[in-house]
Amino acid sequence: MRKIVRFFAKLIMWFLILSIGGVLLFRFVPVYFTPLMGIRVVQSLAQGETPRLHHKWVSYDQISDHLKRAVIASEDQRFYLHHGFDRVEIKKALQENKIRKKARGASTISQQTAKNLFLWPRSSWSRKGLEAYFTLLIELIWPKERILEVYLNSMETGRGIYGAEAVARLHFNTTAKKLSSSQSALIAATLPNPMIYSSKNPSSYMKRRQSHILRQMQNVRLQEDRHKK
């Protein structure tokens, strides 16, 4: 019994050391590859397809402010106000899911960053628990700007396309730094499911989402200004 207890104690100790060390490391080091990228490559190979992986890391100041605001407007409008978990959206989701056929999520950008960087996409209670743990760690160790920088560089933006720079080049023939507000809103509009929605060939539904995001971006700018103060 003592051996079993010692084994699990060591297991937990090493998990804490490696997880905290990983979060500290990625506070400063660029993220060139994520578990999701690897999973997509394996899925392509399993389907007999040639894997595609377009990704280029760029620093925070090389990403358009329009894209930063568009993604926050689309994914997490209280990004600068919460500490990893949006209680307002969680309450809304719990109420709405009582009557909705398809469950609505309430993941913040911090949670999505934790998932993208350290975990896997398939939802389960174990992944949710680990996601909460890593979310707390990155909110404790990273500033908001670093969380947003990693998210914008690791988000899936199309089939085999990851991050702001890759989608800017492939879909708009420009760079992440030069993305316009309209282009940024279109990219943000794909984020619920970039494997289905395309910022290169937007549907009428995508254009409606784009218009909605553009309207919300001004509110995000006001929050951003208060955060900087």
What are 93-137's pLDDT values in tens digits? 777 776 766 665 678 999 999 999 999 888 788 889 999 999 999
Q: Which residue has the higher pLDDT, 222 or 20?
A: 20
pTM confidence score: 0.90
Q: Which CATH number fits domain 58-228: 1.10.3810.10, 1.10.760.10, 2.60.40.10, 3.30.9.10?
A: 1.10.3810.10
Contact 158, 194 (CB under 8 A): yes
124 by Cβ neighbours in 10 Å (0-12 / 13-18 / 19+) ranks as exposed
CA–CA separation, 223 and 210 (whole Å) = 20
More confident residue, 98 or 24: 24
Rounded distance between C-alpha atoms, residue 131 and residue 114, angstroms: 6
pLDDT of 147 above 90? yes
Beta-carbon count within 10 A of 199 CB? 25
Question: What CA dihedral angle connects 194, 195, 200 and 204, to 10 degrees?
Answer: -80
